[in-house]
Amino acid sequence: MCYDFTIMESLTDKPDSPRAPWQVVLAEAIGEPAELCRLLELPAAMAVTARKAMADFPLLVPRPYLSRIQPGDPENPLLLQVLPQEQEQTLVPQFTADPLGEVDAPCGPGLLRKYHGRLLILTSGSCCVHCRFCFRRHFPYPTMAAGKGVRSNLPVGPEGASHKSDLTPFPWEPAIRQVIADPSIHEVILSGGDPLMLDDRRLAQLAWRLAEIPHLVRLRVHTRLPVMIPQRVTDELIAWLRGTRLTPILVNHINHPAEIDDSVAEALGRLVDAGIVVLNQAVLLRNVNDRVEVLAELCRRLVDLRVLPYYLHQLDRVAGAAHFEVPHAEGLRLVRQLRGLLPGYAVPRYVCETPGGASKELLG
Ligand SMILES: *Cc1c(COP(=O)(O)O)cnc(C)c1O
Ligand code: SF4
Q: Which atom of ligand 1 is nearest to the CA of 112?
A: 13
Query: Which amino acid, residue 78?
Result: L
Residue 101: other Cβ atoms inside 10 A: 12
Give the ligand whose atoms come closest to the C-alpha of residue 359.
Answer: 1
Query: Is the CB of 313 within 6 Å of ligand 1?
Result: no
Q: For residue 154, what pLDDT is reported?
A: 31
Query: Is the CB of 360 within 6 Å of ligand 1?
Result: yes
- Please tell me the residue having the least CA distance from ligand 2 atom 7: 134
Query: Is the CB of 127 within 6 Å of ligand 2?
Result: yes
Q: Which of 103-117, 126-140, 280-294 has the lowest mean pLDDT?
A: 103-117
* Ligand 1 probe mutation, 119, 120, 186, 281, most atoms within 8 A of CB: 120
Q: Percent helix, strand and coil across the chain, each rounded to 5?
A: 40, 15, 45
Residues 6+ apart with CB under 8 A from 282: 253, 254, 255, 289, 295, 298, 309, 311, 312, 313, 348
CA neighbor of 349 nearest in space, from 314, 315, 310: 310
Residue 219: other Cβ atoms inside 10 A: 22
Q: For residue 14, what pLDDT is reported?
A: 62
Q: For residue 15, what pLDDT is reported?
A: 64
pLDDT in tens, 164-205: 333 455 578 899 999 999 999 999 999 989 999 999 999 999
Question: What backbone torsions phi and psi does residue 262 show, to the nearest 5 degrees?
Answer: -60, -40
Query: Is the CB of 112 within 6 Å of ligand 2?
Result: no
Q: 285: CA distance to ligand 1 center in Å?
A: 20
Cβ atoms of 57 and 320 within 8 Å: the answer is yes
Q: From CA 71, how far away is CA 129, in angstroms rounded?
A: 19
Residue 120, strand partner residues: 112, 189
Q: 192: CA distance to ligand 2 center in Å?
A: 8
Q: 183: CA distance to ligand 2 center in Å?
A: 30
Query: Is the CB of 115 within 6 Å of ligand 1?
Result: yes
The answer, yes or no, to whether residue 109 has pLDDT greater than 50, is yes
Q: Considering the chain, what percentage of its residues have pLDDT values greater than 70?
A: 85
Residue 176: other Cβ atoms inside 10 A: 20
Q: Which domains does the chain have, with CATH numbers?
A: 5-89 (no CATH), 111-362 (3.20.20.70)
CA neighbor of 202 nearest in space, from 237, 243, 159: 237
Q: 97: CA distance to ligand 2 center in Å?
A: 15
Q: Which atom of ligand 1 is nearest to the CA of 311?
A: 9
Element of type H or E holding 322: none
C-alpha dist (Å) from residue 57 to 140, 153, 195, 354: 12, 9, 19, 24
CA neighbor of 136 nearest in space, from 192, 195, 61: 192
- How does DSSP assign 331-345, residue by residue? HHHHHHHHHHHS-GG
Q: From CA 305, how far away is CA 250, in angstroms rounded?
A: 14
The answer, yes or no, to whether residue 163 has pLDDT greater than 70, is no
Q: Which atom of ligand 2 is nearest to the CA of 224?
A: 1
Q: 52: CA distance to ligand 1 center in Å?
A: 34
Cβ atoms of 133 and 283 within 8 Å: the answer is yes
Q: Calculate mean pLDDT across residues 300-323.
A: 97
Residues 6+ apart with CB under 8 A from 281: 222, 251, 252, 253, 310, 311, 312, 313, 348
Residue 309, strand partner residues: 280
- Please tell me the residue having the least CA distance from ligand 1 atom 1: 360
* Ligand 1 probe mutation, 185, 360, 361, 362, most atoms within 8 A of CB: 360
- Sign of the Cα torsion 244, 246, 247, 249 reads negative
**Phi/psi class of residue 142: alpha, beta or left (left: φ > 0; alpha: ψ in -120 to 50)?**
alpha
Q: Which atom of ligand 2 is nearest to the CA of 127?
A: 4
Query: Is the CB of 129 within 6 Å of ligand 2?
Result: yes
What is this structure's pTM? 0.89
pLDDT in tens, 30-72: 999 999 999 999 999 999 999 999 988 999 999 999 999 999 9
C-alpha dist (Å) from residue 169 to 126, 146, 206: 18, 12, 12
pLDDT in tens, 267-296: 999 999 999 999 999 999 999 999 999 999
Give the ligand whose atoms come closest to the C-alpha of residue 141.
Answer: 2
Q: From CA 230, how far away is CA 22, in angstroms rounded?
A: 8
Query: Is the CB of 113 within 6 Å of ligand 2?
Result: no
